[in-house]
Every structure is written in C-alpha cells, then in structure tokens.
Amino acid sequence: MSRSALVGNVAAMLQDAGFVVSDRIAIRPKSFDLAARRGEDLLLLKILGNIDAFDGVTGSEMRRLGSYLDATPLVVGLRTRDEDLKPGVVYFRHGVPVLNPDTAMDLFVEEVPPLIYAAPGGLYVSLDGDVLAEERQERGWSLGQLATELGVSRRTVSKYENGMNASIEVAIHLEELFDRPFSSPVDVLTGAEDVRDAEPTPEDPDVDPDDEHVLSVLTRAGFTVHPTARAPFKAVSEDAGRKKETNVLTGHSSFTRSAEKRAQIMSSLGEITRTRSVYFVEEQQKRESVDGTGIVSCEELAAIDDPDEIRDLIRERTRDPAES
C-alpha cells in the first residue's frame, strides 16, 4: 500500500469514528500528516509504512506541539525494518505512541483500547495491583504461594501488587490461575505516560534567522513564541498576557503560491486545533486573509508599537476558532 493510500485510509477511519479531520498536509517540511479532533480529544498523526523513518527530530517536534496544543502525538504505521507491527500492541518511538491501523481501528472505532505495550525485552501489560492483591487474599494465598505458581520471587509479586508492570506471559498465567484478567488498558490519548519513560518536553529549536525579525516583534508584544523545526508553520505563539486568548499558528515568508497553500493548511489545522492562524509576508498585500488565516505584512507589524494593537490586528484578520 502506498503511503498516500495509507493516509487516506487512516483519515477515513477517523471520520467513521466521529473525528473531524484536517486537510492532509501535503507540503514540506511536515512533522505530522493530519490533525483530528473528537470532542476534547485532539490527535496529531504521523502516518508511515515503515516506522523506522520516524526520527528523533520529528518525535521531539510532535511532542512539543502536543504540549503547546494540548494534543496527543501519535504514529500509525505498518512495520519496522524487521517485522510487521502486531495488532493490539502499543509501540513507542522517541517518546511517541505507535499503533498499527488495526489497533487504531479498535481504539477509535470500536473503543477497545490496547492492553499490551512493547518495551526493551518484550511485550508488557499494566496490572491492576489492587485487584490482584484482593484476589490473592480471597483465595488465602500468601505472596510466596503466588510467587511459586508464577515462577518468580516473592518480592516480584509484591511489586506487581504495588503497580509494577508484568510481561505478557505473567499476565496470561495470572488470568489462567484466577480465571479473570488483571490487565489495565494503555491510555494512548494521554500519551501513555504510565508505560513509557518519563521524559521532559524537548526544548524549542533555535529560531530561523529569516524569521527572527517577525518572531521578536511578537515576543515584545507579550506572546510566548515557540519556534518549530518541521511543522507546516514557523511557530506556535501563546498570548501570555491574556489567559482566555487562543494560541496562534504563525507563518512567515514571501507571499508565493507555496505560501498561499501553507496558509490554507494552517487554516484547516486552526479549525481542528481551535487556534487562530496568521501568516506574515514580506510584501504588502491587498488580501487580508486566506481561508481564515490572517495575512499581515512585516511592514505593518513593524509599524505597531502597542502590544494590544498587534493582538487586535491578529484578531481582526484571523478566523475566531469559536466560530469554526
């Protein structure tokens, strides 16, 4: 299956599951291919045939964007270099959860979350330790008796009951012993933080020198500006001075046909992520917006000293996400 067809299939699956899906990001650079929202659940998706193509720079970018936009970064893929991805298993690449399409279908359409995650050494599950302890005590077994049944140490059983995860083999053995499951679902929509190593959000990349004159004006106006490395926009700008204001997807370049396409994609993403989007251009333009993305010339921006006037200009030119 081509990657284009795979992206189309995933988008259709998400729509069947009740998500509103953005236009496909068909320009480079792009750290993700689609954004999708269902209620308060927002996904940023990278879709790949071979997930080995998902590198650390892209992973860091997606995790940063997830933090700024309150979204879950997610990779949907078919295989690694060595094997197909198994259904029902959550993998991780550079801190981002990875699912195969069948697992994504189960999660989003059937609402059946995965129970297994892959980590160095094999496949694991999260055990409900409280329920395990209750079942063991009701049966009148000591920690040592259960340890003997499982072929592990008494200390390991104690750790299981206190929340340590277990191999899939141990989870199956426990289910056979007590005739009930003890596995807890992997919470993919919160980034599966309970089953991956805790990692701080990667630091922002350096500002592109070509964009510095624009982003510095926004910073002086009170925005907290987060530059991007591979997103279809140059920055996510947070209005630090106004808590009720939304984030602003921020672009910048000369106004070319490519820039117009980028502005259109930013508009589509803004609808899904509930953000405004503004594109700063080097030339004076008669157009004030492209599909809801505000168009502001760098000359206009530089001529404004009052931070409130800059905010007002952005609000006037951009589509209010509350109206999308």
Task: Write down which residue in 96, 113, 130 finishes a domain.
Answer: 113
Please state the three-class secondary structure of the chain as a single string.
CCHHHHHHHHHHHHHHCCCEECCCCCCCCCCCCEEEEECCEEEEEEEEEEHHHCCHHHHHHHHHHHHHHCCEEEEEEEECCCCECCCCEEEEECCEEEECHHHHHHHHCCCCCCCEEEECCEEEEEECHHHHHHHHHHHCCCHHHHHHHHCCCHHHHHHHHCCCCEEHHHHHHHHHHHCCCCEECCCHHHCCHHHCCCCCCCCCCCCCHHHHHHHHHHHHCCEEEEECCCCCCCEEEEECCCCCCCCEEEEEECCCHHHHHHHHHHHHHHHHHCCEEEEEECCCCCCCEECCEEEEEHHHHHCCCCHHHHHHHHHHHCCCHHHC
In a domain, 234, yes or no: yes
In a domain, 20, yes or no: yes
Residues 158 and 216 in one domain: no
In a domain, 199, yes or no: no
Report yes or no: 116 and 107 within 8 Å, Cβ to Cβ. no
Q: Which amino acid is at 286?
A: K
CATH number at 65 reads 3.40.1350.10
The pTM score is 0.90
Rounded-to-integer distance, Cα 177 and Cα 53, Å: 42
Number of structural domains found in the chain: 3
Residues 151 and 104 in one domain: no
Which of 41-45, 137-141, 245-249, 289-293 has the weakest average pLDDT?
A: 245-249
Q: Which domain holds residue 293?
A: 209-315
Residues 89 and 22 in one domain: yes
And the tokens for 126?
A: 């999260």
Q: Give Cβ neighbours of residue 43 (< 8 Å, ≥ 6 apart).
A: 14, 19, 34, 35, 36, 37, 71, 72, 73, 74
Q: Is the pLDDT of residue 324 over 70?
A: no
Residues 1 and 109 in one domain: yes
Q: Is the pLDDT of residue 1 over 90?
A: no
How do residues 108-123 score in pLDDT, each as one tens digit? 999 999 999 998 889 9
pLDDT-derived band at 323 (thresholds 50, 70, 90) equals confident
In a domain, 188, yes or no: no
How do residues 18-75 score in pLDDT, each as one tens digit? 999 999 999 887 899 999 999 999 999 999 999 999 999 999 999 999 999 999 999 9
The tally of CA atoms less than 13 A away on the side-chain side of residue 293 is 24
In a domain, 108, yes or no: yes
Calculate the alpha carbon distances from 22 to 157, 162, 220 in Å: 47, 42, 32
Could you tell me what percent of the chain has a pLDDT over 90?
Answer: 79
Residues 238 and 291 in one domain: yes
CATH number at 165 reads 1.10.260.40
CATH number at 291 reads 3.40.91.30
And the tokens for 98?
A: 């990875």
Calculate the alpha carbon distances from 25 to 13, 85, 126, 286, 315 in Å: 17, 25, 35, 26, 25
Residues 74 and 159 in one domain: no
In a domain, 72, yes or no: yes
* pLDDT, position 197: 47
In a domain, 29, yes or no: yes
Residues 102 and 126 in one domain: no
Check the CA dihedral 144-145-146-148 and report its sign.
positive
pLDDT-derived band at 322 (thresholds 50, 70, 90) equals confident
How do residues 160-207 score in pLDDT, each as one tens digit? 999 899 999 999 999 999 999 999 898 888 755 544 445 667 888 999
Residues 8 and 96 in one domain: yes
In a domain, 185, yes or no: no
Task: Write down which residue in 87, 113, 139 finishes a domain.
Answer: 113
Rounded-to-integer distance, Cα 319 and Cα 137, Å: 60
Nearest Cα residue to 44 out of 114, 97, 3, 117: 97
Residues 149 and 102 in one domain: no
Residues 48 and 128 in one domain: no
pLDDT, average across residues 124-130: 92
Q: Radius of gyration (Cα) for the chain, nearest Å?
A: 24
Residues 14 and 71 in one domain: yes
Q: Give Cβ neighbours of residue 9 (< 8 Å, ≥ 6 apart).
A: 1, 101
* pLDDT, position 196: 44
Residues 67 and 130 in one domain: no
